[in-house]
Amino acid sequence: MLIKSLVIKKDYLTTVNEHATLEEALKTLEDSGFRCVPILDDSGTIFRGNIYKMHIYRHKSQGGDMSLPVTYLLKNATKTIKVNSPFFKVFFTIKDLPYISVLDENNKFYGILTHSRLLDMLSDAWNIKTGSYVLTVLSDNSRGNLVKMSKIITKHASIAGAMTLDAAAGELDGNFVRRTLFTLPAGVSGDTLKTIVKKLNHKGYVVAEIDDLQAGITIMSDEKPGVYINQPRN
């Protein structure tokens, strides 16, 4: 399970018991340095919600009773995913949260999935550390386009990673457009890159952008399609 492999398990987390006071919760937050932590029941298996440092500070600054139970200010009680949830659900649930709480198959608290873990996974999928170039290729929604684009590229280089980001209308004469990002492996020369771009364009697939991962620059953008802003390395 992809989600399970990314989760930080509860044994490695700082948590607060549901019977702790706001004063005790604030000390835990200040000692740990975290801006929020999960609230769990006495058994340590039931997720009650999150407690945020900023909410406690606000409560305290307004003269609020710090002996109240931490559940008085709990948030995100329903913001959870299952350890076997489909991956796309994570993006809708985690959205504005520092992390999303993860429950196991029996609805017991399993751990948390953080934004940083999620971004690390996407970075690995993109092969940013070991790839050479990323081609952003535009195509319509015709069946078989992914296979056709892949065949063109693999005649000249292997594909280290591929990702489809979005779909929008209007960029190719009003047709439905998909942006597919192909990561090429290390060692691809500038001449090979130019050949791939030329062949893709010839077949009607618009290379809107090329990013040099190792140099950290964009060498071609959709503002100047077909024009290299910086010369690719040989």
Q: Can you tell me whether residue 214 is helix, strand or coil?
A: coil
d(CA 206, CA 178): 11
| Closest CA relative to residue 114, chosen from 30, 13, 15 | 13
pLDDT at 224: 45
Instruction: Answer whether 0.85 is exceeded by the pTM.
Output: no
CATH topology of domain 128-220: Alpha-Beta Plaits (3.30.70)
Architecture of domain 2-120: Roll (3.10)
Which mean pLDDT values do the consecutive 10-residue runs of the chain (234 residues) have?
Answer: 84 97 98 96 97 98 98 95 84 85 96 88 72 91 92 96 70 67 93 96 92 83 45 41
Identical fold between 2-120 and 128-220: no
Domain ranges of the chain: 2-120, 128-220
d(CA 2, CA 174): 37
pLDDT at 231: 41
